[in-house]
């Protein structure tokens, strides 16, 4: 089955880049500047917690299509209001915080993994991030992808099947020729339901130091990798 794989598609937030560290640090800078006495890491967690529900409302046709920056901005506005600091955080601060998702540090082993895989496969970013966001993020992180397949191109979000299948169609490959790599059980489940091959890549620190990351045991996958090196080895790279 995996012998047919031609494309390896990577989730980005948490799988390829460390969103928790990046968002926590940038939230902390804004909060320090505005003298806001809130825990930046806890705020980052709460912001991320609204990620899947916001996209589900789009997928369920409860609202019109909106790209991820818009959803992040709406969630941010609601959180700031709930914490009673809405009047303290300026418009420019809010724009800066939304743009924080455009500049996140890659995991230390991500680039080596992508480089190894590119010798054998076409390696693409398949993310719910908007196309512009992903271009900025990949460039800033120095990630060596062959292409970017934003969910914006499908105008629906993972884990809806169309997000995965549109990427396969644009790359002119069959669904079983795509291996989806993710550190999240919901993403693996969605890709498998769409007919893709799947690889769970363990990222123990993906949700920060106080939350447990997803585990391969939480889903069904074709490959369960304990590290980036392990994934490359299992793919004979």
How does residue 36 score in pLDDT terms, banded at 50, 70 and 90? very high
| % of the chain beyond a pLDDT of 70 | 100
What does the pLDDT read at residue 12? Answer: 98
H helix and E strand count, the chain: 10, 6
What does the pLDDT read at residue 211? Answer: 94
What does the pLDDT read at residue 130? Answer: 97
What does the pLDDT read at residue 84? Answer: 96
pLDDT in tens, 61-116: 999 999 999 999 999 999 999 999 999 999 999 999 999 999 999 999 999 999 99
> Cα separation of 79 and 14, whole Å?
21
All domains in the chain, ordered by first residue = 2-18+104-234 (3.40.50.1000), 19-102 (1.10.150.240)
pLDDT in tens, 190-232: 999 999 999 999 999 999 998 999 999 999 999 999 999 999 9
SS3 17: strand
Say which DSSP state 3 is in: G
């Amino acid at each position: 089955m995996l012998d047919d794989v031609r494309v390896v598609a990577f989730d980005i937030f948490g799988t390829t880049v460390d969103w928790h560290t990046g968002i926590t640090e940038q939230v902390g800078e804004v909060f320090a500047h505005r003298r806001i006495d809130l825990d930046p890491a806890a705020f980052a967690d709460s912001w991320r917690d609204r990620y899947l529900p916001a996209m589900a409302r789009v997928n369920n046709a409860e609202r019109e299509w909106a790209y991820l920056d818009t959803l992040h901005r709406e969630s941010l506005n609601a959180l700031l209001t709930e914490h009673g600091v809405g009047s303290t955080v300026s418009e420019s601060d809010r724009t800066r915080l939304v743009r924080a998702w455009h500049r996140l540090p890659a995991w230390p082993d991500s680039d080596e993994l992508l480089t190894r895989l590119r010798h054998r496969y076409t390696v693409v970013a398949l993310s719910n991030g908007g196309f512009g966001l992903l271009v900025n993020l990949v460039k800033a992180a120095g990630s060596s992808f062959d292409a970017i397949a934003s969910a914006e191109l499908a105008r629906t979000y993972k884990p809806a099947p169309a997000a995965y299948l549109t990427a396969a169609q644009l790359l002119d490959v069959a669904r079983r020729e795509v291996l989806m790599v993710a550190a999240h059980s919901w993403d693996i489940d969605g890709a498998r339901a769409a007919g893709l091959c799947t690889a769970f890549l363990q990222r123990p620190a993906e949700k920060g130091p106080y939350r447990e990351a997803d585990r391969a045991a939480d889903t069904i996958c074709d490959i369960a990798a304990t590290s980036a090196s392990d994934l490359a080895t299992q793919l004979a790279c």
